[in-house]
Amino acid sequence: MSSHVKGSMFVALAVLVTVGAACSTKKEPPPPRTDAQKRAADSTLGASRIPGAAGVKNAMAVSDSAARRKATLDSMAANP
């Protein structure tokens, strides 16, 4: 191959890459999930039979227990 053919192939490839990059659209990241959405996903995972699901379920139970305990203590502190 002559250097002229190699050069034109390089230019054609460069043009294709540039056009492809210019035509691509930028995807915006999805909005952050709310606490309710996170809890729903964790609940679904905890109810499944995949390995580690029981750990997720237990972690949610511990979190719920701690939240109830905190609410009780806050209530006691607000109403002595």
- As a whole number of angstroms, the distance between CA 20 and CA 14 comes to 10
pLDDT in tens, 14-52: 877 777 776 667 788 889 999 999 999 999 999 999 999
The domains of the chain are located at 35-80
Report field, pTM of the whole predicted structure over 0.75: no
Q: Residues in the chain, how many? A: 80
Torsion of CA 54, 60, 63, 67, to 10 degrees: -150
pLDDT in tens, 55-78: 999 999 999 999 999 999 999 988
**Residue carrying the six token digits 């999805």:** 30
